[in-house]
Structures are given as structure tokens and as C-alpha cells.
A and B are shown apart, each in its own frame.
Chain A
Amino acid sequence: MKTKKEIYDVIMRFLFLIIVTVVYMAPFFWMISTSLKPNYELYDFPPRLMPSRMDFSNYLKAVQRFPFFVYFRNSLIITGGAILGTLLSCPLVAYGLSILQWKGREIIFFLILSTIMLPNIVTLIPTFLIFRKLNMINTFWPLILPSFFGHPFYIFLIRQFLLTLPRDLFEAAKIDGASEFQIYLKVALPLIKPILLIVALFQFISSWNDYLGPLIYLMDEKKYPLALGLPQFLDRYGTLWNQMMAAATIAVIPTIIFFIFAQRYLLESIKFTGLKG
């Protein structure tokens, strides 16, 4: 039997959860609702919550002004390249900083880890100048290449995961005469797949959502990812809110699809981060 107080608690909790849901979903509801409004309903006051009739032509018009597939492809190339780089470099470095035994290991690990607290804007200008010297401005390289040289947070995550594996596994392979790289490929990598998936998801989000990087490195519109394409639409056609919101909806759809696939892993990822207080 539940007491009256318990039932009251459950109802209050649900009420709050529903309020939170409404608040957190409102911008998305508004985005879709505005994207379907005919022009003549755009400037009604007070604004209509829902269009009186759905005008899907906004999407067609938006796609004509907004080369979605070019931007989408560019975002995909940048993100794919960065994920590849991360998956090639981070587990390798993490292995070297956890399974291999050597003097000075902890110092190097601590140095790499401490750069997490470095504000990005300190490194921004010299990094830009490096890529300028390398003639890589207005290419995707500055957005992809750094990921081939490890990311401190991902190295940290993979290292923590490697340290939980039983050492005997690695010793046994060594006694069988396997080289360190073979052990890494055949023993370590298959075992750390769960954390690699999380790291790949994090890298996806960070590259796909990056705005400042493309903003400083890419000038040519044909090379724009969604991050630059969408705000440019705002600058040019900012008053055509229904088309603008249609473009935003199209730009958000890949993320929603990604989220449906990845949310289970993302919501559980905290287990691996060692931030459990």
C-alpha cells in the first residue's frame, strides 16, 4: 500500500517532469511550427502557436536557397576525418600511457591531461598561424589534422578503461612472443570497443557542432559545413522566418537521427568518465 504522501510525491514529480519537458522541447516545437507557417501568418500578433494550414513549400524554397547537401557533405567529411584521427591516435597513446611501463610516464600523462583546462582561445592564434604557414587555410585539414595527434580527454577516458583490464592478459600474450603492437591490436583494441564507441560519439558531436573552427579556417562557400551555412542563411534571409526555420529543421534532422541511435550510449557514458564524484 502506498501512503497518501507517496502518491502526492509521485504526482508532483510527474508534474515537474512535464513542465521541464515542455520547456526543453518548446524551441523545437516552435522551429517546426514556424517552418510550416504560410507567409501571411508569420507576422501575426500575438503569434500563432500552430499554423492554420501547413505550408510545406517553405522546405522546398529553403533547399533552393540553402545548398543543404553541399554543407551536409562537408560536415560529414570533416567529422568523419576527425573521428578517424581520434580512433587512430587516442587508443595508441592511451596504451603507451597505461599498459607500457616506463619512467616518466605519469609526468607525461599529467602534462597531457592538464591541457584539458587550457582555454581554447590561448592556442587559437598560433595554431591558425601554423596552418597558414602550411598553406592549409580554406581546406578541411586544420579541422581534421589535430585529431590525429590525440585529444587529452579521450586519451584520459581510454587510459582509465585500459587500467581496469586484468594485467595477466597482456603478460600472457607477451610470453607467447607477441610484439607490443600485436598485443595492442589483438588484445587491447577488441576489449576497449565500448569506450572507443563513446569516444567516437563525443568526437562526432564536437566536430559536427564546431562553429569557431570552420569560421576561422574556411572562406569558400563551397567548403562551408552546416555550421557556417545555416548562420549565413540567417544573415541573408533573416526576415523569411518560415524558410529560415525550415532550413534549421533540415540542419537539425541529422543530429536527431544520430541522437536516437546514440542516446543510450551517451546517457551511460558518464560511467566511464570517472566524474562520478
Chain B
Amino acid sequence: MKKSVKKIQKILTILFFIFPGLFGLVMFKLYPIFASLFFSFTDYYVTLSPKWVGFENFKELFQDFLFLKSLQNTFWYFIGLVPIGLIVGIVLALLLVKDFKFISFFRAVMYLPSVVPIYAFAVVALNFFNPYLGFVNGILAKLGIPGPLWTSDERLVKLTLILIAQWGAGQQAMIFMAAMKDIPKELYESARIDGASKWQIFNKITLPLITPAILYYFITSSILALQFFELPQIMFGGGPNNASLSVAIYLYRHAFRYGNMGYASAMAWFIFLVSLLISLLYFKTSKKWVIYG
């Protein structure tokens, strides 16, 4: 008898501690995943109740010119943001990893833009890259180079956004830096004694030993790239001529401007499946390129 009272007490104690986490998991993660899956098979206007339509939403998606356009744009964001962010992050980390005088100042400078709110940075960047009034073309003009129409040329606007996103590269640079600091010093010393060049040292020691951090970067940055929203929405509202329209912006419009919860849920699940597939691909191939030290 006494034993079972104790057992119940123990269960209640455990529940007390983990309840918030369990509730959050069910209410804000598990339920929404399945609810949005269900909604994606329904015609669901926000003030009415959902009506089952089978695969109609998904069929419609692939005949929807704007969705296809947004998918294509998102593909380019992905292709641009993930590798360029990797290169910029690694270059910054290499520059900042060695400790010496004033290094904390330089690290702070590199990290500050990733802490500045994106809504403020977007507003500043819009003027910074303005073809006629902005800093970038102002400098180019002083050098006698006619600057491109960064923010108004349909063909360039995605590239402009990808460049602007690099001001946030301090985030991944920190992760790469931490991984680099963990590499044993002896490895570098013996390589130097063997007369290895800087490039060889980077290629044979640094790069392989930060691959776990790179795997983490690939997964997180890919998920973010697939949902690219703030910069193109605040700066261009998806324009000019839908050139910056991402799937996330198009989803936002359908869900929260037109109230088409079913159609928007189909988009959400489509992106979810793509992100699962990409994560799976990283994990599957990771055996071949990730080196756990």
C-alpha cells in the first residue's frame, strides 16, 4: 500500500516538472503538424469550417502560376543562401579565430548585425542598395562604375537579398570558430614542420575537422532558406513583378490576407516535406563527408 502511494507521488513529481514541456510539445508542435496536414486536404476559409477536398489543393498548387514562381524563387534563395553563407561564415571564422589584441572588438563588429532586428536592417538595406540614393552605387559612381539597379531590377533583386543576408553571417561564423578552436594545436604544428602550405593546412586539417559544425549549419540554414520571409517581405513585398516572392510570403498572403487556410496549409506541408527530404539527404550523405574527431 505504502509503496504504491510513493509511486504515485513520484509520477506526480515527474509530471509537475515536465508538464510545461509535454503540453508545449503536444499543443504547439504535434497537434499543429497533424492539423495542418488535415487542413491541407480541405477547403478551409478561416471563418467557416473545413470541407474535405482530397488532393485538390495540391493539384491546384502546381497549376498556380504564382506558387510556381514563388517555388522557383525559393529554389534560388536556397541555392544562394546556403553555400554563400557557408563560405562567408568560414572566411569570417578563419579571420577571427586567432586570439590577439583587439580581436574582441572585431568579433563584436562581425556579430552585431546578426543581433540587430531584421525589420530595422531591412529598412536600412533598402536605402543602402537604392540605385540612385544608396551607399553602394554612390561608392561605385565615385570609382567611375555605373552601379546596377539592385533593388528594382527583376533579375538582380534575389541576388541583392542574398547579399544582404550575409550581414547575418556572424551567426554561423561563431559556430565555425568554436569548432576551429577545438582542433588540437599539435596537428597544426606537425603540419607546419612538415612544410605544409596554408591552403593545405586548411584543406587537410581545418576543413575536415569542422565538418560536424558544417552539417549543423547545412541543416539549420536550409530550413531557414526554405522559409525566407522577412527581408523580401519588408523590402519589396514580394516584388518587383513577383521576382522576390518566396513560398513563405505567398503562404502568408493566402493564410492571413485571403483567409485560405486549407490552400496555405498545403503549401506549408509541401515545404515541410521538402525540408525533411533535404535533412534526410544531409544525414544520409554525412557518413561520407562528416568526420567525427
Contact = CB atoms under 8 A, between A and B. Distances in A.
Interface of A: 13, 16-17, 20-21, 24-28, 30-31, 34, 42-43, 45-49, 88-89, 92-93, 95-97, 100, 102, 108, 111-112, 115, 117-130, 132, 146, 148-151, 155, 180-181, 184, 205, 208-209, 211-212, 215-216, 226-228, 230-231, 233-234, 241, 244-245, 248, 251-252, 255-256, 258-259, 263, 266-267, 270-271, 273, 275-277
B14 A125 contact: no
Contact of B106 (A21, A95, A130): A21
Nearest to A37: B133
A226 B170 CA distance: 23
Given A226-B120, A256-B112, A270-B175, 9 more contacts: A24-B110, A34-B127, A93-B17, A111-B25, A119-B271, A122-B268, A123-B32, A234-B126, A255-B116
A208 B110 contact: no
A227 B279 CA distance: 31
A31 B123 CA distance: 9
Contacts of B80: none
A92 B19 CA distance: 9
B contacts with A: majority SS: helix
Interface stretch (B52-60, B64-72, B248-256): B248-256
Interface in B114-137: 115-128, 132-135, 137
B133 A43 contact: yes
B33 A93 contact: no
Interface of B: 10, 13-14, 16-18, 20-25, 27-29, 31-33, 35-36, 39, 46, 92, 95-96, 98, 104, 106-113, 115-128, 132-135, 137-138, 141-142, 167, 170, 174-175, 177-179, 181-182, 209-213, 216, 219, 223, 226-227, 229-230, 234, 248, 251-252, 255-256, 261, 264-265, 267-269, 271-272, 275, 279, 293
Contacts of A230: 119-120, 123
Contact of A180 (B13, B175, B177, B178): B13
Contact of A117 (B18, B109, B279): B279
Nearest to B216: A275
A contacts with B: majority SS: helix
A227 B141 contact: no
A209 B234 CA distance: 13
A58 B13 CA distance: 59
A103 B267 CA distance: 38
Contacts of B179: 275-277
